[in-house]
């Protein structure tokens, strides 16, 4: 887990004097004008450092809590490495994994409106989180509109992603939901330029099931069926390592399961 957490990444920022290349378009729009779904990648860390923002860096491990529902909202958190889940809890005690977050994602947007976080953020893996005070971040963004643009884009992506989850939850069968879950995971890796033929599910079956609105047994069965259909393959050691020879086969699998009377296999 967490390849290449170089020691250099742990020392403090506040270096590299500002040298933002001028852009022809409005500064609060994304500087490099990438494709519609591409991930901003590495420009954000550089920008944060250029602004001289006081970041607090923190190494986290599996199970570490980054913030809890109800904690006073003061910071936004940039996930610099690792994987984090966000868990919502209703007043009557129901728990629900509502999001998975990868490198480059921001955490804590849901706390802005209510002045306190609305869910728990828990690390699923070794990783690193950069925390910035929200008010200093906004103060800096007022001087550097491109930073504001990146923030807005991140919030916008979060909203779009939540909607995609709802679509998946409401319109797909349990098996298809699992396939779609894998597809989304692969997509997240792809956008970050990581290898996509093999993924490590750092959640238990129970967590996956909770996220997808089904039981852990159904998740297990769905994965077994996908494996039997040769869409995925379990790596030799441990059933949390999944090989995905062709990611597009997952999509085909989902579409096939939409036709009535068609199971995965």
Number of helices and strands in the chain (H, E)? 7, 11
- The residue range among 14-22, 77-85, 149-157, 204-212 that interacts with DNA, by the rule CB under 7 A, is 204-212
Binding residues among 176-205 for a copy of itself as defined by CB under 8 A: none
Name the binder of 118 from a copy of itself, DNA, none, CB < 5-8 A by kind. a copy of itself
18: three-class secondary structure by DSSP: coil
Residue from the set 74, 126, 173, 184 that interacts with DNA by CB under 7 A: 173
Residue 5 or residue 169: which is nearer to DNA going by CB? 169
Residue from the set 44, 60, 203, 254 that interacts with a copy of itself by CB under 8 A: 254
* Residue 169 is a binding residue for a copy of itself (CB under 8 A): yes
Phi, psi of 47 (to 5 degrees): -65, -45
Residue 76 or residue 189: which is nearer to a copy of itself going by CB? 76
* Residue 217 is a binding residue for DNA (CB under 7 A): yes
* Residue 126 is a binding residue for DNA (CB under 7 A): no
Contact flags string 4-43 toward a copy of itself, x per CB under 8 A: ----------------------x-xx------xx------
Least Å from the CB of residue 262 to a copy of itself: 14
Residue from the set 87, 223, 226, 254 that interacts with DNA by CB under 7 A: 223
SS3 sequence of 182-226: HHHHHHHHHHCCCCCCEEECCCCHHHHHHHHCCCHHHHHHHHHHH
How are strands ordered across the β-sheet holding 95-101? Answer: 65-67, 120-123, 84-89, 95-101
Distance, in Å, from the CA atom of 73 to the CA atom of 162, rounded to the nearest integer, reads 21
62 CB contacts (<8 Å, ≥6 apart)?
A: 123, 124, 125, 126, 202
Contact flags string 129-168 toward a copy of itself, x per CB under 8 A: ------x--xx--x--x--xx--xxxxxxxxx-xxxxxx-
Distance, in Å, from the CA atom of 167 to the CA atom of 261, rounded to the nearest integer, reads 21
Q: Which two tokens stand for residue 119?
A: 């869910």
| CA-wise closest residue to 161 among 149, 173, 169 | 169
Name the site residues for a copy of itself (rule: CB under 8 A).
26, 28-29, 36-37, 86, 88, 90, 92, 94-96, 98-99, 109-116, 118-119, 135, 138-139, 142, 145, 148-149, 152-160, 162-167, 169-172, 210-213, 254-255, 258
């Amino acid at each position: 887990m967490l390849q290449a957490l170089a020691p250099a990444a742990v020392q403090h920022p506040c270096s590299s004097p500002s040298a933002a290349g001028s852009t022809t378009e409005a500064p609060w729009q994304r500087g490099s004008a990438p494709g519609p779904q591409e991930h901003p990648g590495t420009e954000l860390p550089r920008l944060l450092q250029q602004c001289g923002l006081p970041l607090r860096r923190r190494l986290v491990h599996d199970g570490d809590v980054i913030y809890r529902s109800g904690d006073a909202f003061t910071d936004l958190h940039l996930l610099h490495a690792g994987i984090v889940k966000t868990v919502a809890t209703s007043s009557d005690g129901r728990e629900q994994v509502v999001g998975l977050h990868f490198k480059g994602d921001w955490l804590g947007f849901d706390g802005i409106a209510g002045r306190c976080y609305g869910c728990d953020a828990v690390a699923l893996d070794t990783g690193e989180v950069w925390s910035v005070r929200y008010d200093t971040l906004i103060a800096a963004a007022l001087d550097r509109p491109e930073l504001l643009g990146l923030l807005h884009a991140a919030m916008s992506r979060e909203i779009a992603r939540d909607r995609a989850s709802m679509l998946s939850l409401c319109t797909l069968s349990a098996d298809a939901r699992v396939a779609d879950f894998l597809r989304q995971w692969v997509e997240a890796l792809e956008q970050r330029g990581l290898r996509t033929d093999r993924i490590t599910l750092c959640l238990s079956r129970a967590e996956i099931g909770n996220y997808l609105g089904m039981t852990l047994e159904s998740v297990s069965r769905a994965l077994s069926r996908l494996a039997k259909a040769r869409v995925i393959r379990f790596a030799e050691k441990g059933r949390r390592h999944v090989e995905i020879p062709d990611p597009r086969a997952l999509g085909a699998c989902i579409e096939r399961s939409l036709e009535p009377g068609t199971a995965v296999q």
